[in-house]
Amino acid sequence: MRVLVTGGAGFLGSHLAERLLADGHEVVALDNLITGDRANLASFAANPRFTFVEANLIEELPVDGPLDQIYHLASPASPIDYVELPFETLYVGSDGTRRVLERAVDDGARVMLASTSEVYGDPLVHPQVEDYWGNVNPIGPRSVYDEAKRFAEALSMAFARYRGCEVRIARIFNTYGPRMRTNDGRVIPAFVSQALAGHPLTVFGAGSQTRSFCFVSDLVEGFVRLMESDLEHPCNLGNPVEQTIRTLAEHVNRLTNNAGGVVYRPLPEDDPTRRRPDIRRANEVLGWKPMVAFEDGLAQTIEWFRTQA
């Protein structure tokens, strides 16, 4: 098959592109490199079945030839990125998603939209099931991302209902692994780089907020299974093992032998209190569940960050 990955030079996009090449597909990765990085493509850029296109999806989708599948991942995705790139985030979620869906209709391609657990906002239902409609502040600093992704889901469903487009929607929970940017602001890259420098880890608030972290290879497996499935409704993809941010800091300090401890910093506005995916749908329909234990995934991630220093 000929597969387009938008955001293909990003953290998730590059791992997905690598997996699709390994499965024997022809892969086109499109990225404008505002948060993506060509270095993420290094291990497979020379593969004759791979093409990279540098372009801004908000303006154009300059890929020739018919596509069979489109994984639409393009978007700033870390809280500091989307606060610094508010319009890019809103427009890639709206105009960019529209461009992808129009192309999918033209080519008869199936689309998998990378949506997010942020559609649940600061959730009042725990763990989060797909039927929960969420608790999102529509005008807060995170809204540029949350509402862009909610709009992208609505647009995808409208294309499915009224334009005959085959759409799959992945609601991605916190994911980690090699190729995250050291400075992307997300908690695992932040903690690991601080720990490797021997610095204290910056815990926001009291660190009692929770997250559930999925290793990137597990997520990519979920993407592929979702794309190949008949599931027409959104599907959570994440690891249900939940931990507090304080516990995460202890894990990172222990695995890196960092004696720097932690320092407490103010909690960002609208920071969700807790988050854990209910993955029954992915398990029942896709036969999917995460396989990589947190300690193993974290150890691999730390090793990778060491090579970046």
Q: Minimum distance between the CB of residue 124 and ligand UDP, rounded to whole angstroms? A: 17
CB 53 within 8 A of CB 76: no
Q: Minimum distance between the CB of residue 128 and ligand UDP, rounded to whole angstroms? A: 12
The number of angstroms, rounded, from the C-alpha of 149 to the middle of its chain's C-alpha atoms is 12
Show Cβ contacts of residue 269 under 8 Å, excluding neighbours closer than 6 positions.
140, 141, 142
Q: Minimum distance between the CB of residue 181 and ligand UDP, rounded to whole angstroms? A: 12
Measured between alpha carbons, how far is residue 56 from residues 31, 152, 181, 274, 302 in Å?
7, 17, 20, 34, 32
DSSP 70-87: EEE--S--SHHHHHHSHH
Place of tokens 């690991």: 192
Task: Please list the residues that pair with 166 across neighbouring strands.
Answer: 110
CB 170 within 8 A of CB 177: no
Q: Minimum distance between the CB of residue 190 and ligand UDP, rounded to whole angstroms? A: 4
Catalytic-residue membership of 145 = yes
Residue ranges that bind ligand UDP, judged by CB under 6 A: 78-79, 174, 185-187, 190, 202-204, 209, 211, 245, 267-268, 271
For residue 177, the 8-state DSSP code is -
Q: Minimum distance between the CB of residue 191 and ligand UDP, rounded to whole angstroms? A: 7
Which candidate, 189, 191, 192, 195, places its Cα nearest to that of 257? 195
Cβ burial, residue 31 (10 Å; 0-12/13-18/19+):
buried
Residue 181 to residue 185: CA distance in whole angstroms: 8
User: Kind of pairing, strands 242-244 and 210-212?
Assistant: antiparallel
Q: Minimum distance between the CB of residue 2 and ligand UDP, rounded to whole angstroms? A: 33
Which of 71, 82, 145, 176 is an active site residue?
Answer: 145
- What phi, psi does 84 have (nearest 5°)? -80, -25
Q: Which residues are catalytic?
A: 145
